Amino acid sequence: MDFDMNEANKEMLRNYINMARPMEEMFSVKGKTAIVTGATSGLGFNIALRLLQGGANVVISGSSQTKGDYTIPILAEAGFGPDRVVFCRTNVTKEEDVENLVKTADKAFGSVDIYVNSAAVWSYAHIYDMPAEEFRRVMDTNVNGAFLCIKHVSKYMIAHEIPGKITLISSNAAWLPYPVFGGYPHYTASKGGVNALAIEAAKELKRFGIMVNVVAPGGMVTAGASSNMCVKELSEEKQDEFYEELMVWQNDGTQPVDTVAIVAYAMSTPMSDGMTGEIVVADGGMSHNIVKYQAAIDQYPEQID
């Protein structure tokens, strides 16, 4: 009997239909448990909110107990009570704190299905003025902290045979240095490290069904971004000089935080089942110089012939 390609294709099409999960399931995290670090302000808070709206139980963490104490009531006002969200004070650079964070999620909700790393710090100084200790401080939180969280979250997922989702928040600053004249080599180096860490973790964890990806935004208006200052060791003159440079911006504004939070949410859903080791750039076109307008910039300092 001759092979009939059309009959084979019809059978394949029927199989596609049978295997297709309902679309609402593809964008849902209902019944899942998520941990979000850096979740008491800015992007981390928005991600936690979106996960709660999507049906997940969420453990929010941050290094400040004070922030945790007012963040939980604010979420309660929005309809998310202690049966859905709890706070765990966590210094992500301390392994015992990270271990406790995972234990808190297990105790509160009985699982860890989703982890989003949004904890990060930075400050401003040119590389020739950067104190070595400040460089180490930023790398410790942004890279070592991400490592410790991936380590203990993935151990839990492997032990409980959970095909989990891990999403790290990076930045397009890893390949697109800004402000105009630079100013945070420690932050850009740390975000490059986060990208590389995610790819390696994805390689190691795929056999356990754990998918690891990165979301890389551009500049956003957050409490952290608004309060970050020059490295305190810089002289007043150096700080004034840097802030003058900082006022010369090279793109057409900052993106809304929620546009990035939505992407991080999507990476936590079955929609991203076919993705791991990816860096999803959510910077509104900034990396491609896609802008509404380009302000005129005088060269600074003046060119030396």
Phi and psi angles of residue 105, each rounded to the nearest 5 degrees, phi first: -65, -40
Which residues neighbour 239 within 8 Å (Cβ) at sequence distance 6 or greater? Answer: 229, 230
**Identified catalytic residue from 170, 171, 190, 268:** 170
Task: Look at residues 65, 74, 84, 44 and name the one whose alpha carbon lies nearest to residue 222.
Answer: 44
170 assigned to active site: yes
Which residues neighbour 55 within 8 Å (Cβ) at sequence distance 6 or greater? Answer: 28, 29, 30, 31, 32
Report whether 276 contacts 211 (CB < 8 A).
yes
* Residue 63 Cα distances to 46, 116, 157, angstroms: 17, 16, 24
CA distance linking residue 216 with residue 195, whole number of Å: 9
184 assigned to active site: yes
Which residues neighbour 202 within 8 Å (Cβ) at sequence distance 6 or greater? Answer: 211, 212, 213, 276, 277
**Identified catalytic residue from 32, 67, 165, 191:** 191
Decide: helix, strand or coil at residue 78.
coil
**Identified catalytic residue from 178, 184, 187, 265:** 184
Q: How many residues does the chain have?
A: 305
64 assigned to active site: no
Catalytically active residues are 170, 184, 191
